[in-house]
Structure formats: C-alpha cells, structure tokens
Amino acid sequence: MKINYSIQNDLSFEGIILPYFKECKENYNQLEILKGNKIPTEFLVSDKIFKGEKQETYNLNFIKDNARLEVMLVGLGEKKELSRRDFKKAIGKAYKSLKGKKVVSIGVYLNEIEGLFDSEEEVVKNTAQALVVADYKYITQKSDKKEEKLETVTLVSNNIDDNFKKGFGEGVSLGNNMEFCRELVNEPANVMTPTELANRVKSLGDKTGFEVEILEYDKIKELKMEAFLSVTRASAEPPKFIIMRYKGNPGGETLGFVGKGLTYDSGGLTLKSPAGMKTMKCDMGGAAGVIGAMGAIAENKLNVNVTAVVAACENMVAGNSYRPGDIIGSMGGKTIFIGSTDAEGRLTLVDAVYYIINNEKVDKVVDMATLTGAKVVALGSDTTGAVSNNDEFFAKVNKSYDKAGEYVWLMPSFPEFKEQLKHFEADLTNSPGNPGTITAGLFIREFVGDTPWVHLDIAGASYNTKGKDYISSGGTGIGVSPLYHLAKLMEK
C-alpha cells in the first residue's frame, strides 16, 4: 500500500472514508467524487442507524456511470472528548473495513475535522500513523503471499501546508517503525535469533541514521556481565549486546533506552508449560519497541541525543543451565540468588541498565520489558505498568504516552517492597514475590543509582493472538510511539 496526500477533492477513488462527529452535523455532500449523490446523515441519525459515536462505522455503496464508490462513515464521538487513542482506533477500524471491500484506492477526507488536539499537524500525523499500522499483517513466513488489491491511500484536505506535510511524514515514519518493531516480534525464534536481531538493527541504523555497535561474547565477559551471561549460557545461539547511538544534539544530555531482548524464553530449568512457551518469541518485545523508537527518532532527525542497548539472548535448557538456588554476580557488583530461572529478563536488564548508565553515561534512562505475568493480572493487556525513582521524569514519560495514545500507570514503591529483595545468602533475590510487577521493577532499580529512571512493563500489551481494534494479531508495536514522543519532549 502506498500512502500519499492531495489537496484535490475531485480525485477518483473506489472507496472514501468520511469522519463524523456525534450527530453527524458535518456535511460532505459537496464533494465532487460523490457525483451528485447525497450522504443521508439526517435519515441515518433519526433512525439511529449511524449517529457518529466513537468508532461507529456505516458503509454506503454508490454506482454511477459504471463507477463504483464505497463510502465508509466513521464516528468520532464528541469533539471535546476525543483522545488520540480513540481517533486512531476510529480511522484504523474504518480503513480495515473499507479495505475488506476489495477496493483499489481509498481517499481519507480531513476537511471537516478541524480543531482537534494541538494542531492540524497532530491530526494528520495520527491519521497517517493509524493507516500504516492498520495496513500491516504478518505474512512473511507464508508460502502463498496473495497480492493486495488495495494500491493507494490518499489523505485529502483543503489546506496542505508545511505543517500538514510535516505531520504526514512523521505519522508515516512512526507507522513504518512500528511495523518494523512488529515484524521483529512476529518472526519465529528459529529465525529471530540474537544474531539476526543484531543484523536487522544494523540495517535499520544504516537506513535511518543511527550508529550501531555489537559486542560479542568475549567483550560481554570482559565487562563482567555475569547476570546476562548466566541466562544465555545454555543456548547454542551466541549472545549479542547491541548498542545504538543517535547524536542529534552534540554536547547536550543523553536519553537512554534499554530493551529486554529475550529472543526466546523457555523458562530455563524453571520450565514454562507447553502452552506458555508457544508465544515466547515475543519476549523481546521491549527490545523491538526500543529499536523501532530509535528508527523513528533518527529518521525524523530529532534534536536530541539517545543511546539504546539490548542484551539479546535465549533462555534455554541444557546441562550447563543456571539453576534455582545458584548465586551469581553482576556487572554492578551485587550478588543475586536465583529463586527462579524464569525470572531471567530482569537479570539481563540489570547488566544492561548498569552498562548504559556507567559506560555510555546517559543522563536519564527508560527500560522496557515484557517482564511479568503479574502486570497482566494487575493492569490487563492494554496498559503499561511503570515503576520509577523520579516523579519529574515520570511526568515526561506520562505525557509522552498521552501524545502516543497509549496507556501507562505508575505503580507504588513502598519501603516494604524493597525489603523483599533482600536474601540471607546473597545481596538480592531475583524472585522476591508479590506484588510481582513492582518488586521486579524495584530489582532493576537496585542497579540504577541516582539516575532518573522509569521501568515500563509491557507484558501482555506487546503481543496479542487474536488481533484487537485495528491492529492485527501478533506484535502490537506498543512502546515505539511513547519513546519517540519522550525523545521529542526532550529536544533542545
């Protein structure tokens, strides 16, 4: 699918999307593409067929002069109550419905929805992003790849200025980098090994403009990342420590991202159930989100410095597996009692977080991970759970989530929770118990020091098996947009 924009309203499309606020007061009847046909909004509203409620859709079909026109009405609800999340869901849902009508071309009309969000640029950005995200479906491993009938999607407006063009470019970039993230997550673990992940990061860096450095086993060992290497040692696949650097403001402060990069997680000797292992290719969703964000940041040439790291490996079972009851070291010098080998992500993260703060000298850091099933129990599969040591920094993260149209919720960090991290045989235990999402985050905090830090648990939110809203099944791309908007908020 090719996406573009046009100021013309007489273009020929097989399908058009017309957004309506509640009660359908806007009038598109003067559009030349309708060829004199009228949109019967008064009748639709009076008979309660279509009222313009949030994400409500209704399809009309016109045929004139042997030309077909599918018209998809989509509701936006009350203007004052419309969030970016609701808007993208509405546009994405309408697009997927219209695409299912097997049309060749679609026009999305934005003439009647002024005054949303902060600017017209925001409207265009969110529209373009939603269209690109809604179009993606994982078919890479299918032998029979059927060609899509839909060829082009065009955003149509009466006012295409520099702000419109900027918003369009930014939205397409975010959508494409979310697609890159989703493809990483969707690839099976026999394809998406740590080595393959590193190679794809290199390709993205070359394409979008960020530097990539890959540390191999010997260098990882030299850095004394014992926690990371304990997780990976039973795997036949070599670990990779992936470093991404983008310098958009030389001399300014540097924002740090850390992504959990378990390309497959069997649970180790604390073995997962067969059902639980089927989707564990997605345990690198945090890494994928960080990587996608770096692509968008570099592609849009943000005036900020960002460094990101991923400790990529597999958690497997073999004769040399690390065991429950083992005590291991870490790059930060703390010893860790292994209560569960299935609490492995936090072990890779603590070495990665310690490295990025002390070796890359970042000023603030965010780690993102599919870390705990407890997060799904506490907050469901739509919300990211957060733990932080700095209210001011979390406020920026919270704002970035609002800009992205994603949900985040800050969890409490009471002193009693920190006490649970202690172990009588070691400095810390990797399995401190409930509340699991919070104690897992606080475990990582032990390696942060005074650096402003936010931990983001995206378990359940980064992957869905059935598809949801306008996003197809598999990886969701969650996290890419908030991290991008965080970097944008920190531009100088």
For strands 305-315 and 240-247, give the pairing. antiparallel
What is the rounded CA–CA span in Å between residue 362 and residue 346? Answer: 20
Q: What ranges in 257-412 are assigned the alpha helix state H? A: 274-277, 285-299, 345-358, 373-379, 391-404
Q: Which two structure tokens, joined as six digits, stand for 262?
A: 């378990």
Helix, strand, or coil here: 310? Answer: strand
Element (DSSP H or E) covering residue 454: strand 453-457
Strand arrangement, sheet containing 428-429: 327-328, 336-337, 428-429
- 233 labelled catalytic: no
Angle between helices 480-489 and 162-186 (to 10 degrees): 140
Query: Cα(117)–Cα(119) distance, rounded to whole angstroms?
Result: 6
The region, left, alpha or beta by phi > 0 then psi within -120 to 50, assigned to residue 102 is left
Is residue 346 part of the annotated active site? The answer reads: yes
Amino acid at residue number 151: E
Break the chain down into helix, strand, coil percent, rounded to 5.
35, 20, 40
Is-cis flag, bond preceding 482, omega within 30?
no
> Contact 68/34 with Cβ under 8 angstroms?
no
Strand stretches in 389-437, DSSP E? 407-410, 428-429
Query: Which residue is catalytic, options 125, 346, 403, 445?
Result: 346
Q: Where are the alpha helices (DSSP H) in 306-372?
A: 345-358
* DSSP secondary structure, 205-253, as one string: HHHHT-EEEEE-HHHHHHTT-HHHHHHHTT-SSPPEEEEEEEESSTTS-
Using alpha carbons, select from 412, 488, 448, 417 the residue that is nearest to residue 122: 488
Give the chain's largest Cα–Cα span: 82
Q: Determine which one of 272, 334, 399, 488 is catalytic.
A: 272
Are residues 244 and 311 in contact, defined by beta-carbon separation less than 8 angstroms?
A: no
Among all residues, which ones are annotated catalytic?
Answer: 272, 346
